């Protein structure tokens, strides 16, 4: 009974994952969920190498906190509907509780709908056709393509083989965009932007993944036994620094990069 009650209290979210460091994606998400009070259960749908994962998370706050840290996920959406065909998707959307939709569709709101496809490019005409097919949803707000209050997405999965793209998607999802991950940090703190590069300098993306796997948080002490040029140690400061941290140490870390580490 307790497990059933917990299941009913969880909301379903769709994670759009990056297609690199595939073996590290699941451990990173598991670690970050546990760090922020969530739990990765055995019935979560990760679809192997697919970029689309369905997660059950207790609250939107936990979903947002997850995205403030992850470098393996691109975006997260509150999942409103899912199907293997347009008809299945529409049926799923019609069964989604109206009371969960209303706060984001009322007349005083603005919105836009985006199309995301994996392993296939759609024409503008095809995109418009897909958006028009959602006219049964109770949108009462105004469309605003530049600065909408709410962004909704149709996401279509055409599999992993670029040499064998199916005519129809394997899965179709519809959801409300919640937040993006921290993928831009990988480029911002790229080894190429360091003032000094050693033979063993760690890739910035892997350094962030290691910090997330270790559940590094504010005021933690990070021990790097093979410090080398200190990429891992310095990027870990992004996750641990606080007002009490030694300002000299942080300044030294900051000066190793051509971009600021932040406040």
pLDDT, tens digit, 9 for 90 and up, residues 163-211 = 999 999 999 999 999 999 999 988 887 777 766 666 666 778 888 898 8
Containing H/E element for 7?
helix 2-9
Half-sphere exposure of 262 (CA within 13 A, CB side): 12
Q: Tell me, yes or no, if the pTM score tops 0.75.
A: yes
Confidence check: pLDDT of 231 > 60? no
Strands (E) located in the chain: 11-17, 52-57, 73-83, 110-118, 142-143, 150-157, 171-180
CA distances from 137 to 72, 93, 115, 116 (A): 32, 8, 16, 19
In the prediction, which pLDDT does 229 show? 58
Kindly report which listed range (1-5, 78-82, 166-170) carries the lowest average pLDDT score.
1-5
The predicted structure's pLDDT at residue 243: 39
pLDDT band, very low/low/confident/very high, at 35 (cuts 50, 70, 90)? very high
Domain spans in the chain, listed from the N-terminal domain onward = 11-181, 184-257
What does the pLDDT read at residue 250?
46
- Mean pLDDT throughout 95-103? 95
pLDDT at 237 (0 to 100): 56
Q: Which two tokens stand for residue 109?
A: 């709101």
Contact 73, 67 (CB under 8 A): yes
Query: What mean pLDDT is reported for the chain?
Result: 84
Give residue for tokens 């393996």. 72
β-pairing, 73-83 with 110-118?
unpaired
- Report the pLDDT value the prediction gives residue 190, as an integer from 0 to 100: 78
Q: Picking from 6-10, 23-27, 49-53, 242-246, which range would have the lowest pLDDT averaged per residue?
A: 242-246
Residue 6 has pLDDT above 60, yes or no: no
Please provide the CATH number assigned to the domain covering 11-181.
3.30.2130.30
Q: Which stretch of 86-100, 103-117, 133-147, 248-262 has the lowest confidence by average pLDDT?
A: 248-262
Q: What is the mean pLDDT of residues 254-260?
A: 51
Question: Which residues are CB-contacts of 225 (< 8 A; sequence separation ≥ 6)?
Answer: none
Encode burial over 168-204: b for 16+ CB neighbours within 10 A, e otherwise. Answer: ebbbbbbbbbbbebbbebbebbebeebeeeeeebbeb
């Amino acid at each position: 009974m307790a497990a059933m009650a917990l299941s009913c209290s969880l909301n379903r979210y769709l994670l759009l994952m990056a297609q690199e460091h595939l073996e590290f994606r699941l451990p990173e998400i598991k670690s970050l969920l546990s760090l922020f009070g969530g739990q990765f259960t055995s019935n979560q749908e990760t679809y192997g190498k697919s970029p689309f994962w369905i997660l059950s998370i207790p609250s939107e706050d936990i979903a947002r906190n997850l995205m403030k840290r992850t470098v393996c996920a691109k975006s997260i959406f509150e999942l409103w509907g899912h199907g293997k065909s347009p008809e299945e998707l529409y049926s799923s959307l019609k069964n989604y509780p109206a009371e969960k939709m209303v706060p984001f569709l009322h007349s005083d709101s603005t919105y836009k709908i985006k199309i995301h496809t994996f392993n296939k490019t759609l024409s503008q005409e095809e995109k418009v056709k897909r958006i028009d097919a959602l006219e049964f949803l109770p949108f009462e707000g105004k469309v605003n393509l530049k600065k909408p209050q709410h962004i909704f997405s149709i996401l279509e999965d055409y599999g992993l083989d670029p040499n064998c793209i199916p005519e129809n998607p394997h899965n179709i999802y519809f959801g409300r965009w919640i937040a993006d991950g921290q993928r831009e940090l990988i480029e911002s703190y790229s080894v190429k932007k360091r003032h000094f590069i050693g033979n063993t300098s760690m890739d910035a993306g892997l350094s962030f993944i290691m910090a997330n796997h270790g559940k590094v948080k504010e005021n933690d002490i990070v021990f790097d036994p093979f410090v080398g040029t200190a990429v891992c140690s310095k990027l870990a400061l992004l996750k641990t620094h606080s007002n009490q941290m030694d300002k000299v140490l942080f300044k030294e870390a900051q000066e190793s990069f051509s971009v600021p580490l932040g406040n």
